Amino acid sequence: MHSKALAPEYQGALTKMSVNSSLTDVLAEGLRHLREAELTGSQQEVARCGLAVAEAHRRLGDVEEADRAWKASYRAARSAGDQGAMAWALWSGGTLARQRGELRLAFRLLELAADMGERGGDIVARGYSLAGLAETGRIQGDYRTVAALHEQLLAEARARGEARHTVWALEGIAQIHRNTGSLDSALAMFEEAAELAGAADDRRGRAWALRGMADIISLRDDPERALALLSEAELTCREMKLSSALAYNHKMRANVLFRARRYEEARRVYAQALDEFRAMTEPRGEALARLGLVKSLARLGRAPDETVADLTELRRTLDRIGLLNAREMVDKAFAELGVAPADDADEKSGRR
């Protein structure tokens, strides 16, 4: 039996904020209570309110403000000797680092957060930090390493009846199954996550689950149903001001259009998503949207040498970030579009 979804990152005076609260509302309340805590001199409350401020900024795409906020929250927590609050601040910083494509820093901060949560007796902070490590590894493409951790966290979340965390774990495992070709099990898990999120009133979790369902349904050649699911999810993203989720929703919409050979529509939506990712400094999303845009332009008749140049640059970018799965997607794009990487072309022509 699962309870209603809660938002444990909203702490102190913000405990009553709903998981479905608009991020602009969370930010306004967080800043108000943060100022009050600073006036009273309670470093513990400064840390707790500062965490909500950091998370609202991060999810709204205000990465510089988010960076300042989580660090200030950590300093206040350390001053108060509150290891649980320190763990949550480190979790926020690690999640932000992953969002910015700084995967090594993300791993380091999230490992520190998990250790601090365990030492401070905050099992939720520890669980969220381990989940962050699992997600970072999954995004990197290191499925073998993190699959077992995903399963462990799913079992723990089910045992405690934590709906939101159960939804997250189901979606993560589903994504691994999708990326490794097990589409039936992936779809079943996304559907379970969507149903559970709906029952627990976790609108954000449901929006992400619908996006996963749309992906697989479009792979099975039902673009209209996929687009309808994405439209439903988009309403939630807009109402809750989920900037990152909205950008990923748009990128998936472009993917669906591309698979349906609606290349001009796909080009426009990829370009929209690219602008959204750039605005929030999210290099992983930016790279994936760029890849889709390059492929759409190629299908619309763009010169092959320009396609090769863009794909080659993208491959270097993804190597630098360390996104193994996305790098494989670029390699597949060369073959799909019938062009050779620049270094291969040079070898065939005898150039060095």
- C-beta separation of 205 from 5 below 8 A: yes
pLDDT confidence bin for 2, thresholds 50/70/90:
low
Q: What CA–CA distance (Å, rounded) separates 66 from 124?
A: 21
Query: What pLDDT digit, counting tens, does each position of 147-205 carry?
Result: 899 999 899 889 988 899 899 999 999 999 999 999 999 999 999 999 999 999 999 99
pLDDT recorded at residue 322: 82
Q: What CA–CA distance (Å, rounded) separates 246 from 276?
A: 9
pLDDT confidence bin for 351, thresholds 50/70/90:
very low
Whether the pLDDT of residue 58 is over 90: the answer is yes
Please state the rounded mean pLDDT for residues 41-57. 96
Burial label, 158 (beta-carbon count in 10 A; 0-12, 13-18, 19+) = middle
Whether the pLDDT of residue 323 is over 60: the answer is yes
Please state the rounded mean pLDDT for residues 134-157. 89
Those residues with Cβ within 8 angstroms of residue 275's Cβ, 6 or more apart along the chain or in another chain: none
- Residue 240 sits at φ, ψ, to 5 deg, of -95, 0
Q: What is the pTM of this model?
A: 0.88
Average pLDDT of the chain is 92
